[in-house]
């Protein structure tokens, strides 16, 4: 498959906020196209056109990336930049395009117990270094039990049924 590119003209932007907002727009545009086509990407190039010169920042990933992760990677590249002059245009190109792998949906996470253990150790080490800054997704989302019970109990997600979910009857 051929690479896909998108660009946006900024005039003469120097602030990091304007670059990040432009990257957000580009990421939305490109990831919409990728999702519509059902493809994933593995190679990213960010090209910044400055006054009189052009800078290119390529990133190659060992695994294919989900279209939704594009802004995350763009943000990492932009946050590391030290720009000598204003940016006139940003172009992003994704390559290494291929159809998204079809997998059987799993009701249970963690197919590799060793990977889960390494992940828990890394999170524990990071939370020791940065206390309060490391939050896992499971701490934010409702439990699987609550999600599954919501299919069978129509009152579970309503205001009236919220107290019943904790065992209290009204």
| pLDDT tens-digit readout, 120-165 | 888 889 888 888 777 776 666 677 787 788 777 776 665 444 444 4
Distance CA 166, CA 2 (A): 53
Distance CA 81, CA 90 (A): 13
* Per-residue model confidence as pLDDT tens digits over 4-52: 999 999 888 878 888 899 999 999 999 999 999 989 999 999 999 988 8
Residue among 52, 47, 58, 61 at smallest CA distance from 8? 47
User: Which residue range forms the structural domain that includes residue 118?
Assistant: 113-165
What's the number of domains the chain is made of? 2
Same domain as 11, residue 78:
yes
The radius of gyration of the chain's CA atoms, rounded to the nearest angstrom, is: 22
Same domain as 12, residue 90:
yes
**104 belongs to a structural domain:** no
Distance CA 65, CA 95 (A): 11
Residue among 117, 90, 102 at smallest CA distance from 22? 90
Same domain as 38, residue 117:
no
Per-residue b or e along 16-28, where b marks 16 or more CB atoms closer than 10 Å to that residue's CB: eeebeebbeebbe
Same domain as 52, residue 26:
yes
Same domain as 151, residue 122:
yes
2 pLDDT higher than 80: yes
Same domain as 123, residue 84:
no
Same domain as 133, residue 94:
no
94 pLDDT higher than 90: yes
Distance CA 68, CA 73 (A): 10
Token representation of residue 42? 């593995």
Residue among 5, 1, 4, 155 at smallest CA distance from 89? 5
Same domain as 128, residue 95:
no
Mean pLDDT of 59-70: 90
Same domain as 138, residue 60:
no
- Establish how many alpha carbons lie within 13 A of residue 125's alpha carbon, considering only the half-sphere containing its beta carbon: 6
Supply the pLDDT for residue 163. 43
**170 belongs to a structural domain:** no
Same domain as 158, residue 130:
yes
Same domain as 29, residue 94:
yes
Same domain as 9, residue 81:
yes
């Amino acid at each position: 498959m051929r690479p896909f590119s998108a660009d946006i003209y900024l005039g003469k932007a120097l602030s990091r906020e304007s670059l990040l907002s432009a990257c957000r727009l580009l990421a939305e545009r490109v990831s919409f196209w990728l999702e519509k086509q059902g493809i994933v990407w593995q190679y990213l190039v960010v090209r910044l056109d400055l006054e009189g010169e052009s800078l290119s920042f390529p990133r190659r990933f060992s695994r294919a990336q989900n279209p939704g992760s594009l802004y995350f990677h763009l943000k990492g590249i932009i946050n590391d930049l030290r720009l000598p002059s204003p940016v006139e245009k940003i172009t992003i190109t994704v390559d290494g395009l291929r159809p998204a792998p079809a997998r059987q949906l799993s009701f249970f996470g963690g197919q590799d117990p060793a990977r889960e253990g390494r992940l828990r150790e890394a999170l524990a080490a990071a939370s020791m270094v940065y206390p309060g800054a490391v939050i896992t997704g499971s701490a934010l989302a409702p439990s699987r039990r609550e999600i599954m019970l919501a299919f069978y109990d129509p009152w579970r997600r309503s205001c009236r049924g919220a107290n019943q979910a904790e065992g209290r009857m009204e």
